[in-house]
Homo-oligomer: A and B are copies of this chain.
Amino acid sequence: MSAQTSAARYELLHTAGSARRGRLHLTHGVVETPAFMPVGTQGTVKGLTPEDLSRSGAQMVLANTYHLWVRPGHELIRDLGGLHRFMGWDGPILTDSGGFQVFSLAELCKVTEEGARFRSPLDGQWRMLTPEISLEVQETMGVDIAMAFDECVEFPATRQRVAEGMARTSRWLRRCLAARKHPERTALFGIVQGGVELDLRREHAEELVSLDLDGYAVGGLSVGENRDLLFSTARATTPFLPTNKVRYLMGVGYPWDLVDGVAAGVDIFDCVLPTRSARFGGIFTSEGRLNIKNARFREDSGPLDPSCPCYTCTRFSRAYLRHLFMANELLAPRLLTLHNVTFYQRLMARIRDAVVQGEAAFASLSAEVHGWMGDEGADPDA
């Protein structure tokens, strides 16, 4: 399939060094890139409505194939008009392959060449996830972008183990390609493996590129290696990907990771960080991170982030938000999530502008964002 007829047509608009400003044309709309996808695991970004998401500036959301397959089931979702209609979100949706969730079930999962056999913690049933089933589930739900079922190798791993995972990922990708029924509607992205072995990354990238896929993910990262290794690997991989296809770095990350990912030539990202952190009181602001539980906010009449135009920041004080959080009120995760998601979307908009303005502007923004790294505030992951 050529780029012209792809269900994920990527337009490169500007570059600043390796950073790219582009536009991704999908079945359910256009995504301005670089873009960050909030995570809606079970067909909902926790606590937010589609209306909240639109207002935050989110263009595309990620949903988890594994969760939706197990409950409520892809056939039910199809019968109710597809995932977009089911969750009331009419913008683009990307789904993962489900593999990562299944593999993390550890001793409840056995991986063979056929696929992954596992016992669902939800209903205790043994199930089999294969490349064909993963793709069928994703296509049946009618998503814009399906991810190929891949084998994500643990870190650290021997070079041989990495090479084996890479080869299996390629075989599984070919099975996904053969199983496609709706290429005109659902794009299929392949995942470049190769661990942190740069020659294997290149080899795998070139192999996947020869298959002329709709888009490419730099996979197998953010699994335990340090951030320098993560970004040096990403930087070493993207040069072997075509400029007319979109690039996706899965499960990344902090604001400073996003600027580094963009600098490495990546276009789209997803991460549970802004949403999950919010539920633990961890807030991202233009003045650095903070945790709303902190006693110093008890009487603070200011907004979470003075420069943020979101409903939370324009309407409520840190003191009130802290009160809601300490009182275990439902409104706390909702309002904090709305802010964090908005913050991430505004950051992406600034990144897009900076790339258009050029390398100096991008470097300046990158320095500002890295400045937030050292900031105080409890780690939102804690």
CB-CB under 8 A from A382, the residues of chain B are: none
* A155 at interface by CB-CB < 8 Å: no
Bound complex: CA of A334 vs CA of B334, how far in Å? 9
Does A240 count as interface, using CB distance less than 8 angstroms? no
Contact A79 B331 (CB under 8 A): no
Which of A39-47, A186-194, A248-256 is near enough to bind chain B? A39-47
Q: Are B80 and A327 in contact (CB under 8 A)?
A: no
CA distance A301 to B50 in the complex (A): 18
**Are the CB atoms of B88 and A327 closer together than 8 Å?**
no
In this complex, what residue of B is CB-closest to A337?
B330
With contact pairs A49-B331, A320-B86 given, residues A71 and B315 touching in the complex (Cβ less than 8 Å): no
Q: Which of B80, B301, B329, B333 contacts A299 (CB 8 A)?
A: B80
Tell me, in angstroms, the Cα distance from A157 to B46 when the chains sit together: 48
State whether A299 touches B76 (Cβ < 8 A). yes
Q: Which of B47, B49, B320, B334 contacts A43 (CB 8 A)?
A: B320
A298 contacts the other chain (CB 8 A): yes
B72 engages A311 (CB within 8 Å): no
Question: For A42, what are the chain B residues with a Cβ–Cβ distance below 8 Å?
Answer: 323-324, 327, 329
Q: Which of A46, A49, A335 is packed against the most chain B CB atoms within 10 Å?
A: A49
- A80 and B320 in contact (CB under 8 A), knowing A51-B311, A315-B88? yes
Verify B72–A334 contact, CB threshold 8 A. Answer: no
Which residue of chain B has its CB nearest to the CB of A300?
B80
Q: Does A367 contact B (CB under 8 A)?
A: no
From B86, B301, B311, contact of A80 by CB (8 A): B301
CB-defined contacts of A331 to chain B, threshold 8 Å:
44, 46-49
Question: CB-CB < 8 A to A126: which residues of B?
Answer: none
Of B49, B71, B327, the contact of A323 (CB 8 Å cutoff): B71
Given contacts A48-B331, A330-B47, contact A72 B319 (CB under 8 A): yes
- Whether B299 pairs with A79 at a CB distance below 8 angstroms is yes
Contact between A298 and B72 (Cβ–Cβ < 8 Å)? yes
Q: Map CB proximity to B onto A248-279 as digits: 1 under 8 Å, 0 otherwise.
A: 00000000000000000000000000000000
A81 proximal to B (CB < 8 A): yes
A-B contact pairs, 21 of them (CB 8 A): A42-B323, A43-B324, A44-B324, A44-B329, A44-B330, A46-B329, A46-B331, A47-B334, A48-B331, A51-B311, A71-B326, A72-B298, A72-B326, A76-B299, A80-B301, A81-B301, A86-B319, A86-B323, A87-B320, A88-B316, A334-B334
